[in-house]
Chains A and B, each alone.
Chain A
Amino acid sequence: MKKVSALLMIVLAFMFFYTASSLPQVGDVNSPASQHVSPRYIEKGKKETGSPNLVTAVLADYRGYDTLGETTVIFVAGIATVMILRGKRKGED
């Protein structure tokens, strides 16, 4: 079983390396990721959101739902951590 999983890992690693070699360069303007919505954010972000900081414009305006989700995730993670820590201490007594 161990040999099978090791072989599977090696095959997967080769697959991933082979795929990664054909990925576009970081920062390539002709890559699909840079041609979809990024030009609009960069060109019209200042006018549409009124924020001179592009990061804030994307974070608080274009991707508002995303930031709401992030905040909720942090809150829920905090609640879970506190509950686990308190429950553990109660069990030790």
Chain B
Amino acid sequence: MKKGFGSIVLDASFRVLVPFTLVYGVYVLVHGEYSPGGGFQAGALLAVGIILSRLIQGNEKALFNIKGNVALILAGIGTALYALIGFSTIFLGGKFLEYGRLPFSVHDPAELHALGMLGIEIGVTLCVMMTIVAIFDALTGEEEGI
């Protein structure tokens, strides 16, 4: 058994809670089209996984050590991904978020819908997750300033 994190509580939290939370977050994200869930909830769950790992391991040695500036940039990329998918269908001759116009070669329109929804939900997830991580980073005060 590898060296623990100092106490049995931290060990159990890290080895049980963090992987479960991350896997559950990804499940909520990719299964959001069929069951309750979706981008916002998945983003919150993944952010909880990242914040737990930072709380337990310490900010420097953490498994997912994402700094505040990087987190904000990634949040912007998430928002831009949503807007890109939404407005690209306008430029391809459709309406906003008309998934049938997406330039992927799949034979089934429903599959195109699922792809488009997964794309925008990944964007929402990235935005929510990274915003929470950035706020956590600013609150704990590890950032040196802009």
Contact = CB atoms under 8 A, between A and B. Distances in A.
- Size bin of chain B's contact surface: 35 or more
Interface SS of A by simple majority: helix
Given A75-B76, A82-B135, A90-B145, A53 B127 contact: no
Interface of A: 49-53, 55-56, 59-61, 64-65, 67-68, 70-72, 74-75, 77-79, 81-82, 85-86, 89-90
Nearest to A56: B33
B120 A78 contact: no
Contacts, number: 90
Given A60-B117, A71-B82, A86-B146, A50 B110 contact: yes
B97 A81 contact: no
A60 B117 CA distance: 6
A82 B113 contact: no
B16 interface: no
A82 B138 contact: yes
Given A59-B38, A71-B78, A53 B32 contact: yes
A74 B132 CA distance: 9
A67 to B, nearest CB: 7
Contacts of B139: 85
Contacts of A53: 32-36
